[in-house]
Amino acid sequence: MRLARATTVGGLAAGISVLTLGTAVAAPPEPIVIEEPVQIEEDFCGVAGLTVQTTATAEGRFRVVQRGPDRLSYYMENVRGTVSFARVDESGEVGPVVATVVDRVLSKDLRVTDNGDGTLTAQVLATGNSVLYDAAGRVLARDPGQVRFSVVIDTGGTADPGDDEVVEFLGIDKESTGRSDSFCDELVPLPT
């Protein structure tokens, strides 16, 4: 399996790592549901002593199609993810959820190049919206826009995209567009 090439648009401290990729090429989009284990993050948002429990879920659809004369695989996914945040006190007691981030992301390969050594280089477009809500459902911050980045993918020596794996992040090709509210600025002062 290969790591999904999109990250949450908003650069959240608790991102969703989606492990996906089926073997059906040019088939209808396949549904996915991923639940990440609960994670405890110490010194959250760079604040010493602030410990937060995060819980993440992602669901969506993905598709792989072959394009061009070399029939290179192009990946596309449409994902809706949520990350919930709860503070953890000094005794380890987890409080109620104080905020939730909802991400909607469309990620797709714009250009795929065969490097001739069993790897591909893919330029990826990730576009979407991240919204931070407080426990009452009020919007605290938003981060809509798009970003472009490139990755190197090891094909596993096969034409089957099911064994492809992202092995290197080459960097950002186009910085995030749109509004970029600081989620940490809103999360840190929230009451427990």
Domain ranges of the chain: 2-187
Indicate the DSSP class of residue 162: G
Q: Which structure tokens are listed for 81?
A: 């993810």
Kindly report, residue by residue over 20-62, the tens digit of the pLDDT.
Answer: 333 333 456 667 777 777 899 999 999 999 999 999 999 999 8
**Rounded-to-integer distance, Cα 87 and Cα 22, Å:** 36
List the alpha helices (DSSP H) in the chain. Answer: 183-187
Instruction: Say if residue 4's pLDDT is above 70.
Output: no
Token representation of residue 140: 């605290």
| pTM beyond 0.95 | no
pLDDT (tens digit per residue) in 140-177: 999 999 999 999 999 998 888 888 899 999 999 999 88
- Residues whose CB is less than 8 angstroms from the CB of residue 102 and which lie 6 or more positions away in sequence, other chains included: 80, 81, 82, 130, 131, 133
Rounded to whole angstroms, the Cα distance separating 17 from 35 reads 10
